[in-house]
Chain A
Amino acid sequence: DVKVTQSSRYLVKRTGEKVFLECVQDMDHENMFWYRQDPGLGLRLIYFSYDVKMKEKGDIPEGYSVSREKKERFSLILESASTNQTSMYLCASSLGRGAWPPADNYGYTFGSGTRLTVV
Protein backbone atom coordinates (compact mmCIF):
# COMPACT_ATOMS: atom_id res chain seq x y z
CA ASP A 1 0.00 0.00 0.00
CA VAL A 2 3.07 2.23 -0.21
CA LYS A 3 2.31 5.28 -2.35
CA VAL A 4 5.33 7.59 -1.99
CA THR A 5 8.65 5.80 -1.69
CA GLN A 6 11.93 7.38 -0.70
CA SER A 7 14.93 5.31 -1.64
CA SER A 8 16.77 5.41 1.69
CA ARG A 9 15.66 5.78 5.30
CA TYR A 10 19.15 6.59 6.57
CA LEU A 11 22.14 7.93 4.69
CA VAL A 12 25.62 8.98 5.80
CA LYS A 13 27.74 10.96 3.36
CA ARG A 14 31.03 12.82 3.48
CA THR A 15 31.44 16.56 3.03
CA GLY A 16 31.84 17.43 -0.64
CA GLU A 17 30.12 14.33 -1.98
CA LYS A 18 27.35 14.58 -4.54
CA VAL A 19 24.20 13.09 -3.02
CA PHE A 20 21.08 11.86 -4.75
CA LEU A 21 17.79 11.41 -2.89
CA GLU A 22 15.14 9.61 -4.89
CA CYS A 23 11.37 9.78 -4.54
CA VAL A 24 8.81 7.76 -6.47
CA GLN A 25 5.01 8.01 -6.30
CA ASP A 26 2.48 5.61 -7.80
CA MET A 27 -0.65 7.81 -7.59
CA ASP A 28 -0.22 9.64 -10.90
CA HIS A 29 0.09 12.94 -9.00
CA GLU A 30 1.20 15.99 -10.92
CA ASN A 31 2.78 17.86 -8.02
CA MET A 32 5.87 16.72 -6.16
CA PHE A 33 7.76 18.45 -3.37
CA TRP A 34 10.97 18.20 -1.41
CA TYR A 35 11.12 19.51 2.15
CA ARG A 36 13.69 19.39 4.88
CA GLN A 37 12.65 19.17 8.50
CA ASP A 38 14.74 20.51 11.36
CA PRO A 39 13.85 20.83 15.06
CA GLY A 40 12.16 24.14 15.80
CA LEU A 41 12.01 25.11 12.12
CA GLY A 42 9.27 22.82 10.90
CA LEU A 43 9.06 21.88 7.23
CA ARG A 44 10.91 24.11 4.80
CA LEU A 45 10.27 23.81 1.09
CA ILE A 46 13.38 23.22 -1.03
CA TYR A 47 12.02 22.65 -4.53
CA PHE A 48 8.77 21.60 -6.11
CA SER A 49 7.49 20.53 -9.48
CA TYR A 50 4.08 20.86 -11.07
CA ASP A 51 4.85 18.73 -14.11
CA VAL A 52 7.49 16.64 -15.81
CA LYS A 53 10.66 18.61 -16.55
CA MET A 54 9.31 21.56 -14.59
CA LYS A 55 10.82 22.77 -11.35
CA GLU A 56 10.39 25.77 -9.12
CA LYS A 57 12.47 27.01 -6.22
CA GLY A 58 11.04 26.85 -2.78
CA ASP A 59 12.17 28.81 0.25
CA ILE A 60 15.64 27.31 0.68
CA PRO A 61 16.95 26.08 -2.72
CA GLU A 62 20.60 27.04 -2.20
CA GLY A 63 22.93 24.06 -2.41
CA TYR A 64 20.27 21.83 -3.96
CA SER A 65 18.99 20.97 -7.40
CA VAL A 66 16.23 18.66 -8.63
CA SER A 67 15.34 16.52 -11.58
CA ARG A 68 11.97 15.34 -12.83
CA GLU A 69 12.37 13.37 -16.04
CA LYS A 70 9.33 11.18 -15.41
CA LYS A 71 6.02 12.05 -13.76
CA GLU A 72 6.42 9.52 -10.99
CA ARG A 73 10.00 10.34 -9.99
CA PHE A 74 11.42 13.47 -8.36
CA SER A 75 15.08 13.51 -7.39
CA LEU A 76 16.82 15.88 -5.01
CA ILE A 77 20.52 16.47 -5.61
CA LEU A 78 22.99 17.90 -3.15
CA GLU A 79 25.75 19.11 -5.46
CA SER A 80 28.44 19.20 -2.77
CA ALA A 81 27.17 18.02 0.57
CA SER A 82 27.94 20.13 3.62
CA THR A 83 27.41 19.48 7.31
CA ASN A 84 24.62 22.08 7.48
CA GLN A 85 22.63 19.89 5.13
CA THR A 86 22.36 17.20 7.78
CA SER A 87 18.60 16.91 8.18
CA MET A 88 15.46 14.87 7.66
CA TYR A 89 14.34 15.10 4.03
CA LEU A 90 10.69 14.52 3.17
CA CYS A 91 9.22 14.01 -0.26
CA ALA A 92 5.51 14.58 -0.94
CA SER A 93 3.13 14.47 -3.85
CA SER A 94 -0.34 15.87 -4.49
CA LEU A 95 -2.95 16.22 -7.20
CA GLY A 96 -2.53 18.99 -9.75
CA ARG A 97 -3.06 22.61 -8.82
CA GLY A 98 -6.16 24.46 -9.73
CA ALA A 99 -8.53 21.79 -8.46
CA TRP A 100 -11.29 23.44 -6.45
CA PRO A 101 -12.77 23.09 -3.91
CA PRO A 102 -10.03 21.42 -1.90
CA ALA A 103 -10.83 17.98 -0.60
CA ASP A 104 -9.25 15.31 1.52
CA ASN A 105 -7.29 13.89 -1.37
CA TYR A 106 -5.89 17.26 -2.45
CA GLY A 107 -3.48 17.28 0.44
CA TYR A 108 -0.03 15.83 0.40
CA THR A 109 0.97 12.21 0.61
CA PHE A 110 4.37 11.98 2.25
CA GLY A 111 7.16 9.48 1.98
CA SER A 112 8.74 7.98 5.09
CA GLY A 113 11.63 10.41 5.00
CA THR A 114 15.39 10.14 4.58
CA ARG A 115 17.57 11.05 7.51
CA LEU A 116 20.79 12.35 5.98
CA THR A 117 23.93 12.85 8.00
CA VAL A 118 26.86 14.66 6.40
CA VAL A 119 30.17 14.10 8.19
Chain B
Amino acid sequence: SQELEQSPQSLIVQEGKNLTINCTSSKTLYGLYWYKQKYGEGLIFLMMLQKGGEEKSHEKITAKLDEKKQQSSLHITASQPSHAGIYLCGADIESSNTGKLIFGQGTTLQVKP
Protein backbone atom coordinates (compact mmCIF):
# COMPACT_ATOMS: atom_id res chain seq x y z
CA SER B 1 0.00 0.00 0.00
CA GLN B 2 1.04 3.55 -0.66
CA GLU B 3 2.68 5.33 2.31
CA LEU B 4 1.43 8.64 0.96
CA GLU B 5 -2.13 8.58 -0.31
CA GLN B 6 -3.36 11.32 -2.60
CA SER B 7 -6.99 12.00 -3.33
CA PRO B 8 -8.63 12.30 -5.69
CA GLN B 9 -6.61 10.46 -8.32
CA SER B 10 -8.08 12.66 -11.02
CA LEU B 11 -10.16 15.79 -11.18
CA ILE B 12 -11.97 17.66 -13.93
CA VAL B 13 -13.18 21.15 -13.08
CA GLN B 14 -14.68 24.06 -14.95
CA GLU B 15 -12.48 27.10 -15.28
CA GLY B 16 -13.04 29.47 -12.38
CA LYS B 17 -13.96 26.77 -9.89
CA ASN B 18 -12.05 26.04 -6.68
CA LEU B 19 -10.58 22.64 -5.94
CA THR B 20 -8.69 20.76 -3.23
CA ILE B 21 -6.20 17.90 -3.41
CA ASN B 22 -5.30 15.93 -0.30
CA CYS B 23 -2.16 14.06 0.73
CA THR B 24 -2.42 11.73 3.73
CA SER B 25 0.10 9.64 5.63
CA SER B 26 -0.13 7.26 8.56
CA LYS B 27 3.25 8.56 9.71
CA THR B 28 4.42 11.99 10.75
CA LEU B 29 5.44 14.14 7.81
CA TYR B 30 8.80 15.86 8.24
CA GLY B 31 8.96 18.27 5.36
CA LEU B 32 6.05 18.00 2.93
CA TYR B 33 6.71 19.11 -0.64
CA TRP B 34 4.21 19.83 -3.40
CA TYR B 35 5.21 19.49 -7.04
CA LYS B 36 3.46 20.08 -10.34
CA GLN B 37 4.16 18.20 -13.54
CA LYS B 38 3.09 19.16 -17.03
CA TYR B 39 2.41 16.15 -19.25
CA GLY B 40 5.65 14.49 -20.37
CA GLU B 41 7.91 16.81 -18.40
CA GLY B 42 9.78 16.90 -15.12
CA LEU B 43 8.39 18.03 -11.77
CA ILE B 44 8.40 21.66 -10.73
CA PHE B 45 8.64 22.56 -7.03
CA LEU B 46 5.63 24.52 -5.73
CA MET B 47 6.09 24.86 -1.99
CA MET B 48 7.24 23.13 1.16
CA LEU B 49 5.59 22.82 4.58
CA GLN B 50 7.24 21.73 7.77
CA LYS B 51 5.42 22.93 10.86
CA GLY B 52 2.07 21.66 12.07
CA GLY B 53 -0.66 24.13 11.13
CA GLU B 54 1.57 25.85 8.58
CA GLU B 55 0.00 27.44 5.52
CA LYS B 56 1.70 28.88 2.45
CA SER B 57 0.32 30.57 -0.63
CA HIS B 58 1.68 31.35 -4.06
CA GLU B 59 -0.58 33.18 -6.47
CA LYS B 60 -3.84 31.20 -6.40
CA ILE B 61 -2.43 28.06 -4.81
CA THR B 62 -2.53 27.51 -1.02
CA ALA B 63 -1.03 24.54 0.79
CA LYS B 64 -1.67 23.58 4.40
CA LEU B 65 -0.18 21.03 6.78
CA ASP B 66 -2.48 19.88 9.57
CA GLU B 67 -1.59 20.18 13.25
CA LYS B 68 -0.77 16.48 13.54
CA LYS B 69 1.50 16.70 10.47
CA GLN B 70 -0.11 13.70 8.83
CA GLN B 71 -2.16 15.40 6.15
CA SER B 72 -1.62 18.20 3.72
CA SER B 73 -4.04 19.86 1.34
CA LEU B 74 -3.46 21.88 -1.80
CA HIS B 75 -6.19 24.34 -2.68
CA ILE B 76 -6.51 26.16 -5.99
CA THR B 77 -8.79 29.18 -6.13
CA ALA B 78 -10.48 30.22 -9.37
CA SER B 79 -8.79 27.55 -11.46
CA GLN B 80 -7.38 28.34 -14.90
CA PRO B 81 -6.31 26.11 -17.80
CA SER B 82 -2.69 26.83 -16.83
CA HIS B 83 -3.29 24.93 -13.58
CA ALA B 84 -3.82 21.69 -15.48
CA GLY B 85 -1.26 18.95 -14.89
CA ILE B 86 -0.29 16.32 -12.35
CA TYR B 87 0.18 17.36 -8.74
CA LEU B 88 2.36 15.22 -6.50
CA CYS B 89 3.13 15.41 -2.83
CA GLY B 90 6.48 14.22 -1.54
CA ALA B 91 7.55 13.84 2.06
CA ASP B 92 10.34 12.81 4.34
CA ILE B 93 8.76 10.46 6.89
CA GLU B 94 11.93 9.78 8.83
CA SER B 95 12.79 12.23 11.60
CA SER B 96 16.49 12.01 10.78
CA ASN B 97 15.78 13.81 7.51
CA THR B 98 17.56 11.37 5.27
CA GLY B 99 17.01 13.55 2.25
CA LYS B 100 15.02 10.75 0.63
CA LEU B 101 11.43 11.56 -0.20
CA ILE B 102 8.50 9.27 -0.80
CA PHE B 103 5.77 10.37 -3.18
CA GLY B 104 2.07 10.03 -3.54
CA GLN B 105 0.70 8.54 -6.75
CA GLY B 106 -0.30 11.95 -8.09
CA THR B 107 -3.53 13.78 -8.90
CA THR B 108 -4.28 14.60 -12.51
CA LEU B 109 -6.11 17.90 -12.91
CA GLN B 110 -7.97 18.98 -16.03
CA VAL B 111 -9.47 22.47 -16.25
CA LYS B 112 -12.17 22.95 -18.87
CA PRO B 113 -12.34 26.42 -20.44
Seen from chain A, the residues whose Cβ lies within 8 Å of a Cβ on chain B are: 4, 6, 30-31, 33, 35, 40-43, 45, 48, 50, 88, 90, 92, 94-104, 106-113, 115
Contact = CB atoms under 8 A, between A and B. Distances in A.
B41 A107 contact: no
A102 B100 contact: no
Contacts of B99: 30-31, 50, 94-99, 106
Contacts of B100: 31, 33, 45, 48, 97
8 closest cross-chain pairs (CB), A and B: A102-B31, A42-B105, A97-B99, A110-B42, A43-B103, A110-B43, A107-B33, A112-B42
B42 A42 contact: no
Contacts of A31: 99-100
Contacts of B96: 97-98
Interface in B94-111: 96-106
B48 interface: yes
Contacts of A107: 31, 33, 45, 48, 90, 101
A108 B106 contact: no
Contact of B104 (A42, A97, A102, A108): A42
Given A42-B88, A102-B50, A108-B101, A90 B43 contact: yes
Contacts of B45: 104, 107-109
A28 B19 CA distance: 37
